[in-house]
Amino acid sequence: MKIKKIIALAICITVAGSLLISCRGGNGGGIIQESPVTQPGETSYPINTDRTLTYWVDLQGSISANYKSITDTPLGKELENETGIKVQYIHPPAGQSDVDFNLMIASGNLPDIIEIKWITRYTGGPEKAIAENIIIPLNDVFKNYAPNMTKYMEANPNVERAVKTDSGKYFAFPFVRGDDILLTSYGPVVRKDWLDELNLPLPETISDWHAMLTAFKVQKGATAPFAVSKDQGTFFILANGLFSGAYGLKKEFFIDDGQVKYGAYLPEYKELLATLQKWYSEDLIDKGIGTTDGKAMDSYVLNGRTGAFACYPGSTLSKYVPAFEAQDLNAELLPVQFPVKNRGDAVKYTSMVHPVDASNQFTAITAKSQNVELAARFLDYGYTEKGNMLYNFGVEGESYNIIDGYPKMSYFVMNHPEGWSVSQAWSAYARATYSGPFEQRREYIEQYWMLPGQKEAFTAWNSSEAVNHILPPVSISEGESAQFSSIINNVKTYVDEYSLKVLLGTESLDNFDAYITQLKSFGIEDAIKMQQNAYDRYMNR
Amino acid sequence: MTMDMNTRTEKRGISLGSRAKHTWTLIKNEKSLYIMIIPVLLYYIIFCYIPMGGAIISFKHFSPAQGLWNSPWVGFQWFEEFFRSPYFARTFTNTLRISLATILFGFPAPILFALLINELHGTKFKRIVQTLSYMPHFVSLVVTCGMVIEFTRYNGVITQVLGIFGFPQKTMLQEPNLFMPVYVISGIWQEVGWGSIIYLSALVGIDQQLYEAARIDGAGRIRQTINITLPCLLPTIIIMLILRIGGLMNVGFEKIILLYNDAVMSKADVISSYVYRKGLLEANWSYSTAVGLFNGLINCILLISANTITRKFADTKLW
């Protein structure tokens, strides 16, 4: 009931808002762009303007720990200095991003710029968002006001392909991972010191993992030998190829030989679940797996109850390694390869993403914006050489210095005097640690993953074949998108529920056929076909 | 509440004009009372009645870009889709089950608690017990649910204590059949003290002479409770019960989504949490409004029938 009220209220606001807008349109004969700030095609920063842009984007926890808004950070101030453009950032309350975004869209009250995962978050994707008059196509905008972005796309055709819809409309300024080593940032980590103590080799296969977890349980007394937090979904690991890779799949969509497949709909998924169910029944997997959140995870790892888990080393290991050191434990965390079925098999499925992945943030200009040109010029700055350095490393002389041509982060950032973590200090000055309208650089990860256990991730998770199995940022056609998202929402909910129940043993694997039938009746095959068509269209762009 | 006087001077056969005049005099006489009610009326109009108009989108294919009026009509499409979906039966029965259990166990709890408190004699002790029992009510739901999740894990304090009596050391919130007990019991713990306030105030209003007379007749404590206290509390209890039944299909989504996970979804997912997921997370506005409207309709029917029934049998009613 409460929700209904909120929705209804939101709609009332929409109506009131649209009335106002139509009145204004009637009086002024439409909204007229003010004369351009500079001539089309070129930009000389700083731009002289007294207008302020509004910019909706999530506020990272690493920033909100110290600042209320990006505007207040050194980065926000430097951007204003450099571009001459004032930006008022609008941040949704922490954890309320989705709700806030949906209500904003429904209210029709949009800022100039919205940065979000447009491909996955907006039902129907960018094509639909343009058709529904939420954001504008940027073809002319790029041509006229974004010379640097245009140049950047010319030099990087794979980026150009990813920021346009199937019908050839550019929709956003992208976040681009500019180097291969930035593409794989999530994977399995184990307690190396326990392995050494127990005389075990680094695990390569599923049976190695089984032996290792059993040894952790029996000989090290680990009560949750393998644990995973539910914060991103308990089966986030399977969607990223951990364990599932050994069975030749990823839980959700992936590419195999040009074919789109949905992992949880494959017969091999049954074997995968059988393995996990067996591990759980042998107490090798956390007994609280359904309720374990990030905090519970931390206490598992730091109290030696867990010997293997999956993580983003940047944020996670920078928490664990110092905590272990402080306790003076000789704990050593080491990233290991994604397990395979037979020794010597090549690793094919990892957490590797596309440089302009569908899960990336894209920065779009809204149809309500009256400052299209200014917004474009502001965003275009991220693709200049200077802007790229600012977004990645911050302010030269403060947060970084060029040493032998290498942007070296300053002592101030790496050892903040007030005890801020590296990610807090870094994200105050730059956005390399998360996302934004720019190309992320290799030097970021080289300096961000500095701790023992972080550096090893590069080689441990590296796989030459993973790139063949990742789904590029495709978009479902506009007419099919509503149906597609309805199918996929039903499927995902059902798959997660079934998988967890099987793992816990409350649901039998004998019902796997019924499970497949249920997925079929949700329309999974139609969804796979739509995704296949989208993939084919993408490859032909 | 101030309308009693309407009937006092009302006469048959007076013309419409004089009746309006009469009403106006009444209003004028009680000016300050009517002025005081304005903010409340406004509140209900602005926040409850006007937004109801938004329910119209449950019959449309609402898209924010087209707006409320221009979105195309689709009739009962969303309702049909909901009734056909595998989630209909599940969320419907779960809502009923959880709600009935909450009423069955959660409703008598504050009454019993109030009776017990009433029997306490040391004023200081009484006050301490009361204050302590209110406390959980003032703690944020997010915090209490966090505590519940921690305490009921396989190594949590509640599971361990129960383990002494042979209870299996399992994470309770992973067992579909344990979800409802955890939900109901934690609800009682959080609200029992707060819910007892209304009964305690009703207890204060009972004529002490009744007890005196009963004592002289030789009635013990329990007799007094059964023959005096409970009958005097009955009107309050019935009004509270009618209100509760009207909200039968209202299981708040906040606590559900804070407690549930994929493992117990089959027994925990209720209509309101489903509306929340469909509407606010998946932006399926029309569909979730349709589900919400359906839920509201059932509530309305339940409230009216509960009122009719009690009016017939107990002569206590809301209207």
Whether residue B179 sits in one domain with residue B83:
yes
- Tokens standing for A126? 């960018």
Nearest residue, CB atoms, B54 vs list A11, A99, A490: A11
| Contacts of B262 by beta carbon, 8 Å cutoff, 6+ apart | A234, A290, A496, A497, A499, A500, A501
In eight-state DSSP terms, residue A311 is E
Whether residue B219 sits in one domain with residue B271:
yes
User: B283 vs A2: CB contact, 8 Å cut-off?
Assistant: no
Nearest CA in chain A to B275: A3
Whether residue B16 sits in one domain with residue B155:
no
Contact of A493 with chain B, judged by CB distance below 8 Å, is answered with: yes
Contact of A208 with chain B, judged by CB distance below 8 Å, is answered with: no
Q: Are B299 and B246 in contact (CB under 8 A)?
A: yes
User: B65 vs A18: CB contact, 8 Å cut-off?
Assistant: no
User: A291 vs B171: CB contact, 8 Å cut-off?
Assistant: yes
Taking the CB of residue B65, how many other CB atoms lie within 10 A of it? 16
Q: Domain for residue B66, yes or no?
A: no
Nearest residue, CB atoms, B51 vs list A8, A234, A291: A8
Residue A500 with chain B: CB contacts under 8 Å: 261-263
Q: Are A439 and A322 in contact (CB under 8 A)?
A: no
Q: Are A73 and A413 in contact (CB under 8 A)?
A: no
Name the minimum distance, in Å, from the CA of A468 to any CA of chain B. Answer: 30
* Whole-number pLDDT of residue B22: 85
Length of chain A in terms of residues written: 541
Residue A11 with chain B: CB contacts under 8 Å: 51, 54, 57, 62, 68
Residue B55 with chain A: CB contacts under 8 Å: 4, 8
- Helix, strand, or coil (residue A369): coil
Nearest CA in chain B to A131: B65
Residue B57 with chain A: CB contacts under 8 Å: 7, 11
For chain B, helix, strand, coil in percent to 5 are 75, 0, 20
Using a 10 angstrom Cβ sphere, with 0-12 exposed, 13-18 middle and 19 or more buried, the burial of residue A499 is: buried
Using alpha carbons, select from B300, B247, B292 the residue that is nearest to residue B273. B292
Name the minimum distance, in Å, from the CA of B295 to any CA of chain A. Answer: 8
Q: Give Cα B81 distance to the centre of its chain.
A: 28
d(CA B260, CA B183): 10
Phi/psi zone of residue A341: left (φ > 0), alpha (ψ -120 to 50 degrees), beta? Answer: alpha
CB within 8 Å of chain A, chain B residues 168-197: 170-171, 173-176
Give A312-347 as a 3 state SS string.
Answer: CHHHHHHHHHHHHHHCCCCCCEEECCCCECCCCCCC
Q: Are B75 and B59 in contact (CB under 8 A)?
A: yes
CATH of domain A46-177+360-437: 3.40.190.10
Q: Tell me the sheet residues that pair with A365.
A: A113
As a whole number, mean pLDDT of residues B200-225 equals: 89
Q: Supply the pTM of this predicted model.
A: 0.83
Question: Peptide bond preceding B176: is omega within 30 degrees of 0, i.e. cis?
Answer: no
* Whole-number pLDDT of residue A39: 55
Contact of A18 with chain B, judged by CB distance below 8 Å, is answered with: yes
The domain segmentation of chain A, as residue ranges, is 1-29, 46-177+360-437, 187-351+451-540
- The ipTM estimated for the assembled molecules is 0.79
* Whole-number pLDDT of residue A20: 38
Name the minimum distance, in Å, from the CA of A499 to any CA of chain B. Answer: 9
For B125-172, write each residue's pLDDT tens digit: 888 998 999 999 999 999 999 999 999 998 899 999 999 998 888 899
- Percent of chain B exceeding pLDDT 90 equals 41
Residue B232's domain comprises 77-313
Q: What is the CATH number of the domain that holds B238?
A: 1.10.3720.10
Quote the strand ranges of A173-329, DSSP E: 173-174, 176-177, 187-191, 253-256, 259-262, 308-311
d(CA A485, CA A483): 6
The kind and range of the H/E element at B177 are helix B176-204
* Amino acid (1-letter code) at residue B175: E
d(CA A44, CA A325): 50
Point out the least confidently predicted range of A226-235, A528-537, B17-26, B38-47.
B17-26
For B76-107, write each residue's pLDDT tens digit: 989 998 998 888 999 999 999 999 999 999 99
| Contacts of B270 by beta carbon, 8 Å cutoff, 6+ apart | B91, B94, B95, B98, B251, B253, B256
Q: Tell me the sheet residues that pair with A176.
A: A439
Residue A12 with chain B: CB contacts under 8 Å: 50-51, 53-54
The dihedral sign for the CA sequence A123, A125, A131, A136:
positive
| Contacts of B115 by beta carbon, 8 Å cutoff, 6+ apart | B199, B203, B225, B229
For B286-309, write each residue's pLDDT tens digit: 999 999 999 888 888 888 888 888
Phi/psi zone of residue A102: left (φ > 0), alpha (ψ -120 to 50 degrees), beta? Answer: alpha
Contact of B286 with chain A, judged by CB distance below 8 Å, is answered with: no
Residue B288 with chain A: CB contacts under 8 Å: 3, 7
d(CA B126, CA B123): 5
Report the relative pairing of strands A333-335 and A187-191 from DSSP bridges. Answer: antiparallel
Number of domains in chain B: 2
Whether residue B116 sits in one domain with residue B11:
no
Report the relative pairing of strands A52-56 and A113-116 from DSSP bridges. Answer: parallel
User: B285 vs A496: CB contact, 8 Å cut-off?
Assistant: no
d(CA A264, CA A486): 17
Nearest residue, CB atoms, B292 vs list A3, A133, A486: A3
d(CA A424, CA A443): 18
Give A40-75 as a 3 state SS string.
Answer: CCCCCCCCCCCCEEEEECCCCHHHHCCCCCHHHCHH
Contact of A288 with chain B, judged by CB distance below 8 Å, is answered with: yes
Nearest 5°: phi and psi at A340?
Answer: -120, 175
Q: Quickly name the fold that domain A187-351+451-540 has.
A: D-Maltodextrin-Binding Protein; domain 2 (3.40.190)
* Whole-number pLDDT of residue A40: 56
From first to last of the 541 residues of chain A, give the pLDDT tens digit: 445 555 554 444 444 443 333 333 333 333 434 444 555 556 788 888 889 999 999 999 889 989 999 999 999 999 999 999 999 999 999 888 988 999 999 888 999 999 999 998 888 889 889 988 999 999 999 999 999 999 999 999 999 999 998 889 999 999 999 998 899 989 999 999 999 999 999 999 999 999 999 999 999 999 999 999 988 889 999 999 999 999 999 999 999 999 999 999 999 999 999 999 999 999 999 999 999 988 899 999 999 999 999 999 888 888 898 889 888 778 999 999 999 999 999 999 999 999 999 989 999 999 999 999 999 999 999 999 999 999 999 999 999 999 999 999 999 999 899 988 888 999 999 999 999 999 999 999 999 888 888 889 988 998 888 999 999 999 888 788 888 988 998 999 999 999 999 999 989 999 999 999 999 999 999 999 999 999 999 998 8
Name the minimum distance, in Å, from the CA of A84 to any CA of chain B. Answer: 33
* Whole-number pLDDT of residue B10: 47
Contact of A9 with chain B, judged by CB distance below 8 Å, is answered with: yes
d(CA A4, CA A24): 30
Whether residue B297 sits in one domain with residue B209:
yes
Q: Are A153 and A160 in contact (CB under 8 A)?
A: yes
CB within 8 Å of chain B, chain A residues 84-113: 98-99, 102-103, 105-108
As a whole number, mean pLDDT of residues B29-49 equals: 90
In eight-state DSSP terms, residue A464 is S
Whether residue B119 sits in one domain with residue B39:
no
Nearest CA in chain A to B85: A522
The kind and range of the H/E element at A149 are helix A147-155
User: A106 vs B48: CB contact, 8 Å cut-off?
Assistant: no
Nearest residue, CB atoms, B280 vs list A102, A123, A134: A102
d(CA A441, CA A430): 12
* Whole-number pLDDT of residue A354: 94
CB within 8 Å of chain A, chain B residues 208-237: none
CA atoms within 13 A on the CB side of B107: 19
In eight-state DSSP terms, residue B89 is H
